Structure 1
């Protein structure tokens, strides 16, 4: 049951289960696996990163050599052992050459870093592009039951917000993650070369950083999962509320809607604030540890210089390396929240990708030899909930050219019967044949191309009236479009519009009336030339006079095709060849209008309820 803006049975239901514990490692591994088609470019990114980091790591060592040149020139020794002026003087040409080498090293490092970012940007965008394509294809393969239980806003949030967050996370973390790791490795090597003792002092940072990051990330990951879950639920609530905005106004339920919004918004705020706050502690904590280590290096380095165990240039280079060492560790900490957020979004997208699909079309599929529109139900059984039977052992035959009307109280299974014909749902038992071929053995596209359907709820897209009619058959000529419009009386009101058939409709058809929208959908179905025509309360929004005209048009257009008409107004189906009366998923009566009235059964009771009661009240 879908819930509406006020919690009633009209809007979106509860989203996909998201309360289970987040599997960070498995989802992160799966996300990285999406990069497999970009292997060669990823290798190029790594190579460019290695070169860039190597060049940047060499810089402090060269600057240390330059410092030693100055110290030797002034003091005559690189450990301050002499007096000022005892040195032979600064070797300016050598110092200039060294500084030139430093400049070249940093310029080349920046160039390679830029190239790495450029290639990585392409890798990320192509990966996300493929992911969007796969998600779109997945949506087309999902059964109708999936959308029955998941809010549209929740699906939209996964397709848009979550994929955008994955893109942002990959873009911002991959380059920094690679560069930071390579920098840490390169700096450790250089520190060990300069002074193993100071290197041991600096390496204390690594286990402390790993422990801090792991402890904080463990607490923040569930908060990120909750953040994106609440984002999807809030999107679903907003989409639902504004779709039914007029209804909310009519019943004066703005306060309740606002209260629900505030409650969900508070939940999103709490989860988002908690996730960002907890994960945000990582970087300051790592920086604090880095500063402590920096002080320790300065003290121990000074002692080593005084004992002539290390040169001034060596200490200077090491201090630079210590900063260069703690900076990528801090970056890794700051990236933890981005990475966790991206993986949380990836898990939500993967849940969609892993959702159970509709059964594949048979291969090879069967095609009816002739398209006459003969439909046969043989012992059909179906239920939405396995514990609650809906249709059991239903059998009927609809001959070519017949008009079959289906009537009955709400919930009797009328629309379900039509959905089974279209294979929106799969049968639990029995079979349905079209022109002698089991519809389960046909490709869905082939089956649905032989059926035209007009629903009670109209659907139009943003485009011209001509394009909306032609949606039923894109290759239709202008003459065929006009003919379909005239047959369904669309042509009458189109000529009253300033742009005629070129009038652009809103995506919900808001600039035409409800009756005119319904006429447009009828014209679309007629243009498709189906062998089976399904009308589910197709004239419910049409005024009485127009309904009479449309009924005449339908009579002519139904002449060569089998038609199923679901109707609550029994006056519209008096001329049907066969009337099926359904109750609780079973056909309790069938026959022509007059015969059913004479029988005095369920149909007669429905008829009297519609026509006798108003007369009695008068």
Structure 2
């Protein structure tokens, strides 16, 4: 199974914080179906969503009324000044009227802000509850996925769906959805208010909209291919940097620094060319739209001036209309922006739903059995297994292992050694046959109970971020500190642990790179010793330690394996000579079975493997 973590890169989105204007939009394969499914997650919050809608409408309405009322104040000032200019007795500015207007405006904007706060507060709760549900479902899903999913899917891809895509949904629900509602209401409200002032000037403004749309589409289309190139080249650059960073010792050892720098410079230059062209083209959209908008303002000012001289509308209405016209273009741009964001969000939701719809492992039996005192008798009865139904890897396997026996599994790469162990742990489901432990079919046991019967030491070590003591006691969390130390001594790890600055309290980093590979292996062996399971699985458990330490470990493991059923996967045949049973596997079948002497006497496949390794060792010793 691959544990390699790959860097995750999210595609750019159309506008705003998710990406530059004109950037390529990640699209869903089934937009309608995914959107309907996402809406079902919002269904329990119908009342809250209705509250958000009402609050958005009221907030926007109160905000839209402002310019019209402010125009009334402007008209009143203009009329007062004109009357005073004409010398009308008692003429002047009606400050009492203006004060009432200002109080009314303050009230409108206050209520607008209040309802906007209600809208944001309620929507934040809905968004967080929705993504909380998604994360809970994703967490539960991980525990039900079979091992074959993790074999075929990188860790980075799974994390990207659970973290990045869910965060994208959260951001859209919390910010973009309310912004979208507000923008739509603003567009409708502003059009209505402009029509009440002057249908002719409203028509002039609306005529300029198609021109803005055409400019946006033409420029965005040209910039999109540069954004695609930018994303692709950015991925190449990130991959190159990660590769050179993780393998910097190899690069230095072979003197490839200059070549690596040249490649970086070439890809970086290509990224620069794509980047500045994409940003330049997307950056000129707003100036061009502003230019078209200013043309509209000029036309509106000219027509409005004529209408004022003719007495068709007041000066205040001209001021209000210009304010509305400026308010009108912003929500249109926001709506286009949010439309792209919603496309990306639905694509993210689709990726999350694809993960949630992954095939799950076979459910546990309705009535499970419990092994109160497991002895460790294992049997395979006519077992067939294949990753695909038409290509069986293991065919009609029969095997009986008595409690306390040590079973060694040997054979060439790809023979099915590790697969046999995965079937025993029920990481994979068999096609036909039965696997029993103490006479009980493993499908009749709870998976957690089944796994608790085994202690595993694998060739690929796994340690987590935490203290050395915590890592050793991972299999037995209630273990006392003295028991942890005894297990470490049995695994010959106590000495190196005590040489570390903090001893057993030394914190291992995420990849446990602050200790050597051999030391990692010793800790996993100590973990298995402390767990004290009835059945042991050792997959090349001493492959990462030196020969001298291997001898000590082998003695410790031999002591540990006494009275326990043990499955040992080995490539070095010299380490399994004392095994009770040696299974020789090739092409998924057990082709030979017996102890070391019996198999050598057969002079078959095992004897050929053993003698070839023995001759290689003699050759190495003579060369040394």
Report the TM-score, using the length of structure 2 for normalisation: 0.84
Residues in 2 aligned to 1:495 and 1:119: alpha-carbon distance in whole angstroms = 55
**Residue 189 of structure 1 pairs with residue 196 of structure 2:** no
**Residue 53 of structure 1 pairs with residue 60 of structure 2:** yes
Secondary structure at the residue paired with 1:427?
coil
**Shift in Å at residue 277 of structure 1?**
7.0
C-alpha deviations, 1:317-355, integer Å up to 9, x for none?
222212111221123234455444544444444443443
**Shift in Å at residue 485 of structure 1?**
2.1
Residues in 2 aligned to 1:236 and 1:149: alpha-carbon distance in whole angstroms = 21
**Residue 402 of structure 1 pairs with residue 405 of structure 2:** yes
Instruction: Find the counterpart in structure 2 of residue 560 from structure 1.
Output: 563
Instruction: Find the counterpart in structure 1 of residue 603 from structure 2.
Output: 600
Residues in 2 aligned to 1:226 and 1:138: alpha-carbon distance in whole angstroms = 36
**Shift in Å at residue 246 of structure 1?**
4.8
Which deviates more, 306-315 or 444-453? 306-315
C-alpha deviations, 1:72-127, integer Å up to 9, x for none?
32335xxxxx9744483322211221122223322332343344334444444444
Instruction: Find the counterpart in structure 2 of residue 69 from structure 1.
Output: 76
**Residue 305 of structure 1 pairs with residue 308 of structure 2:** yes
**Matches of residues 285-364 of structure 1 in structure 2 within 5 Å?**
286-364=289-367
Mapped contact 2:8–2:160 kept (Cα < 8 A): no
Residues in 1 aligned to 2:268 and 2:351: alpha-carbon distance in whole angstroms = 20
Instruction: Find the counterpart in structure 1 of residue 459 from structure 2.
Output: 456
Mapped contact 2:219–2:281 kept (Cα < 8 A): yes
Residues in 2 aligned to 1:146 and 1:232: alpha-carbon distance in whole angstroms = 25
Q: Which runs of 5+ in 2 are unaligned?
A: 12-24
Instruction: Find the counterpart in structure 2 of residue 489 from structure 1.
Output: 492
Secondary structure at the residue paired with 1:540?
coil
Report the TM-score, using the length of structure 1 for normalisation: 0.84
**Residue 525 of structure 1 pairs with residue 532 of structure 2:** no
Mapped contact 2:406–2:561 kept (Cα < 8 A): yes
Task: Calculate the aligned-residue CA RMSD, in Å.
Answer: 3.9
**Shift in Å at residue 292 of structure 1?**
4.0
Residues in 2 aligned to 1:443 and 1:84: alpha-carbon distance in whole angstroms = 98
Change (3 A) 1:495 1:92: closer
Mapped contact 1:452–1:525 kept (Cα < 8 A): yes
Mapped contact 2:6–2:156 kept (Cα < 8 A): no
**Matches of residues 44-443 of structure 1 in structure 2 within 5 Å?**
44-75=51-82, 84-86=86-88, 88-204=91-207, 246=249, 283=286, 286-368=289-371, 370-384=373-387, 388-443=391-446
Alignment length (residue pairs): 605
Out of 447, 470, 473, the position equivalent to 1:467 is 470
Q: Which runs of 5+ in 1 are unaligned?
A: 3-9, 77-81
Which deviates more, 561-570 or 208-217? 208-217
**Shift in Å at residue 32 of structure 1?**
5.2
Change (3 A) 1:12 1:565: same
**Shift in Å at residue 572 of structure 1?**
1.2
Residues in 2 aligned to 1:132 and 1:224: alpha-carbon distance in whole angstroms = 31
Instruction: Find the counterpart in structure 2 of residue 578 from structure 1.
Output: 581
Which deviates more, 276-285 or 329-338? 276-285
Mapped contact 1:368–1:436 kept (Cα < 8 A): no
**Shift in Å at residue 593 of structure 1?**
0.9
Which deviates more, 334-343 or 271-280? 271-280
Change (3 A) 1:513 1:11: closer
Instruction: Find the counterpart in structure 1 of residue 21 from structure 2.
Output: none
Which deviates more, 241-250 or 591-600? 241-250
Residues in 1 aligned to 2:144 and 2:269: alpha-carbon distance in whole angstroms = 35
**Shift in Å at residue 599 of structure 1?**
1.3
